[in-house]
Structure 1
Amino acid sequence: MDSIIKNTNQAPQGQTIFEAKANARSNSKRLLQPSRIRRGIKGETFFKHTLSFTGILLILIVFGILATLFYQSIPAMNALGARFFWTSTWNPVANIFGALPFLAGTLITSFLALIISIPFSIAIAVFLGEYFPKGVFSNFIKNTIDLIAAVPSVIFGFWGFFVLVPIIRMLEMKFGIMPNGVGLFSAALILAIMIIPYAASLGTTMLRMVPASLKEGAYALGATRWEVLRKVIIPYSKSGLFAGILLSLGRAIGETMAVTMLIGNANFLPKSIFAPGNTMASVIANEFTEADNPVYVSALIEMGLFLFLVTFVINLIGKNIIKRATRNNG
């Protein structure tokens, strides 16, 4: 209340200083009324309990999904055992299920997409975080990247099928490769485009967190902009850049529709990156509605459980890296 009175040394227009002080005292008394205090405490308590309930509910939902997937995977675990992930024959008619072709397709497409996307992600992060952090052009690039992240994956699949596949087929014919067009390489290219915004956005944030004193000190010692970027900015924010790349890997592993439309959907081990194949997510999307016996359904759900655990671990590691980097920078 004393601070309110001190701030009334200059009275509002049409009031004397004494009237302003009297109004300040009456306002402070009204704010400190027991009924208003009780209502404020009740509102804050309700809001706190609502947030706690929401957080606990989300945790229960995640563990509920995990428990459901695990329970539905038990028939396949009992019937197939560990060889499910090491055998390469997938023949539902004969009740033979081996997920190795889909595991290989998932790893090849995801890591190939990651390799393709890393240079573009880092370049965009450096461009927006260091060279053009503000301005109309920077905002346009940032909004475009955000728009790419928001586009549904099926749209990427359509675009890849009608634009990317003919180009790849033409290149395959030029280099003497069987002109499939669809295959692991096509799926990896579309995945690379889809995951660039995730790594670039997080990388931009991490580059902007580099203390200005470090950069100014390097410039004062005579370093060029390239030297500051290479020897100060990138080393300082490398953990955040790595976390962004790791999170984009988790996004690539779980992608379904765009990959399904471009990978060729072949249930055998690929012999090259241009050959048709399948991923765990794409085979689940293609065959789940056709599964006609419990082991078949359970085998598909077991692959879903594996994808869930892998993406959960990848995201957990990435979030911890970001948290540690943010804490150190702070």
Structure 2
Amino acid sequence: MFKTDNIFKIVCLGCASLIGLLMLGVFIQLGVNSADTWDKFGIGFLWSEEWDPVDDKYGAWPNIAGTLMTTGVSLAIALPLSFVSALYLVEAPGWVNKTLSQAIDLLAAIPSVIYGMWGLFVLAPLMQEYVQPFLADTLGLAKMPVFGWLLGEDYNGFGFLTAGLILSLMILPYMCAIMRDVFRMTPPMLRESAYGVGCTKWEAAKDVIVKYGIRGILGGVFIGLGRALGETMAVLFVIGNMMEMPEGLFSSGTTIAATLANNFAEADGLQKSTLFALGLILLAMSFGIQVFAQYYLHATSAKRGEER
């Protein structure tokens, strides 16, 4: 028994260590292959807006800004929808719960390229003919000081808003499924106690269910965030693929993942090194978000009554 336990412990330790070594290896590989870019442009590569393959001048800021904008739009749309959907599924009758849960799980199984094709042939024309004219002209938001700067003036159906909508549809099933399972794990006694002291369903959800399952909820959010940061094909179809700084949600642009997909096949020399540098930046962004999430959960654990 003792030897078996030791072998099992060593195997588990080796598997856990392998994950860390793989992560370290990816960082090293990207760092080595992007060394020429960092040597030539330095840290200024991060906020440079240049992208001129003819003169071998490159900057990462349009890609970073586009990635952050599409991710922010997708989270702003998907987070509240996934939260209320998960709450409803927990309280819904059995047949409704089963049907809608299976539908949400099926959405998560759709390949990203299918989302991209649907966005290109269905969503983009709808945005161009109905949604964007309604927001810009009918409501007059494009002429208002703050909304005009946020949306932009010109629209053609493509751009960051369309890409954000596609991404929100892609990450919503993951976030909703995880939140649904977390809400189901809340002990019935806690809910009944909240209802017993006069709480409404919203108050019980906000003050009891969410606080009890905050780790799982944030886990679902960051899983969706990770997919939104690195999504390629769906964004590639509808974002416009313009190497420009975002001028508004209606404007076209690019993301790090879209730039890698568009340019990597024919890239060579310094441009290839630049693409590796963009990959390193994307990996660092994803890794930094996860580290921040764990730090936040640890720093606020005492307020939730958890053992630190």
Mean CA deviation greater in 117-126 or 56-65: 56-65
Q: Report the equivalent of 1:71.
A: 32
CA distance in 2, matches of 1:269, 1:43: 59
CA distance in 2, matches of 1:41, 1:230: 47
Once the two structures are TM-superposed, the CA of residue 259 in structure 1 deviates from its matched residue by: 0.6
227, 232, 238: which one aligns with 2:203 = 227
5+ residue gaps, structure 1, are: 1-39
How is 1:100-111 mapped onto 2 (pairs within 5 angstroms)?
Answer: 100-111=61-72
Once the two structures are TM-superposed, the CA of residue 180 in structure 1 deviates from its matched residue by: 1.5
Once the two structures are TM-superposed, the CA of residue 44 in structure 1 deviates from its matched residue by: 6.0
Q: Report the equivalent of 1:59.
A: 20
1:262-287: CA deviation from partner (whole Å, max 9, x where unpaired): 10000011211111100011101101
SS at match of 1:111: helix
Q: Report the equivalent of 2:282.
A: 307
Number of aligned residue pairs: 287
Per chain length, whose mean CA-contact separation is higher, i.e. which structure has more relative contact order (CA < 8 Å, sep 6+)?
Answer: 2
SS at match of 1:251: helix
1:127 aligns with 2:88: yes
Q: Report the equivalent of 1:237.
A: 213
Q: In structure 2, what residue type is equivalent to 1:65? A: V
SS at match of 1:204: helix
Q: Are 2:155 and 2:251, in contact at CA under 8 Å, matched by a contact in 1?
A: no
Q: In structure 2, what residue type is equivalent to 1:165? A: A
SS at match of 1:94: coil
Q: Report the equivalent of 2:185.
A: 209
Q: In structure 2, what residue type is equivalent to 1:54? A: C
Alpha-carbon spacing, 1:232–1:257, altered in 2? closer, same or farther (3 Å):
same
Q: Report the equivalent of 1:181.
A: 157
130, 153, 172: which one aligns with 2:112 = 153
Q: In structure 1, what residue type is equivalent to 2:227? A: R
CA distance in 1, matches of 2:109, 2:2: 40
Length-normalised TM-score, structure 1: 0.78
1:249 aligns with 2:225: yes
Q: Report the equivalent of 2:44.
A: 83
Q: Are 2:241 and 2:252, in contact at CA under 8 Å, matched by a contact in 1?
A: yes
SS at match of 2:265: helix
Q: Are 1:239 and 1:322, in contact at CA under 8 Å, matched by a contact in 2?
A: yes
CA distance in 1, matches of 2:27, 2:201: 49
Q: Report the equivalent of 2:103.
A: 144
SS at match of 1:275: coil
Once the two structures are TM-superposed, the CA of residue 114 in structure 1 deviates from its matched residue by: 0.6
5+ residue gaps, structure 2, are: 138-152
1:194 aligns with 2:170: yes
1:154-181: CA deviation from partner (whole Å, max 9, x where unpaired): 1110111111011001023454553411
Length-normalised TM-score, structure 2: 0.83
Q: Report the equivalent of 2:79.
A: 118
Q: Are 1:182 and 1:264, in contact at CA under 8 Å, matched by a contact in 2?
A: yes
Q: Are 1:106 and 1:279, in contact at CA under 8 Å, matched by a contact in 2?
A: yes
Mean CA deviation greater in 232-241 or 251-260: 232-241
Q: Report the equivalent of 1:12.
A: none
RMSD: 2.6
CA distance in 2, matches of 1:240, 1:204: 10
Mean CA deviation greater in 209-218 or 154-163: 209-218
Q: In structure 2, what residue type is equivalent to 1:147? A: L
Once the two structures are TM-superposed, the CA of residue 313 in structure 1 deviates from its matched residue by: 2.7
Q: In structure 1, what residue type is equivalent to 2:266? A: E
